[in-house]
Amino acid sequence: MTQADIDAAVELLDGWADSHPSTPLNWSRFTSITGFTRPALSAKESIQAAFVRAKEVQRDVKARSKASPNELERLRGRISELEDQVDTLRAAEEKWLTDWQKVLCNLMEMGINAADVLAPISAAHWLHTEDAIDAFKKERGRGVYQKRGRSDKK
């Protein structure tokens, strides 16, 4: 067996799950494809390792493919929902960044140091600030910025 034969056998095994997804991999089948005996093939460490990897990949593919069509459709729908949420959040983040850029620019134009405005809030002022943020959200009609686990009902 030449190095080219070994390389070809390893390449075939590495692509087995993609090129033969429904064909079980076993030494009998593999020897009939390559024309070499099992002892000759398994004696080569690289072929033996590639065979083990191919079997593992094929097991993983079979395990993933056991989902029912209904489950696959549900998962596709969930993926679509999550993609929509990501798009919405990206747009909201972009809007938020644009708004903050405007705020910081206007502060500088007014001669106000942005670092002073962005200083930490003391605990005494926190509740008042939270109410102000809630009022801002309602005014702007922004459901995206709502805090988790908190409803607007009071």
Return the pLDDT at 121.
79
pLDDT at 151 over 60: no
What are the residue ranges of helices labelled H in 37-68? Answer: 38-42, 45-64
Confidence of residue 152 (pLDDT cuts 50, 70, 90): very low
For residues 112, 115, 118, 120, the Cα torsion angle rounded to the nearest 10 degrees is -130
pTM reported for the whole predicted model: 0.41
pLDDT at 142 over 70: no
Return the pLDDT at 61.
64
CA 151 to chain centre: 30
125 is written with which tokens?
Answer: 């002022």
What are all long-range contacts of 57-64, with beta carbons under 8 Å and residues at least 24 apart? 57/16, 57/17, 58/16, 58/17, 58/21, 58/24, 58/25, 60/17, 61/17, 61/21
Q: Where are the domains of the chain?
A: 3-64, 69-137
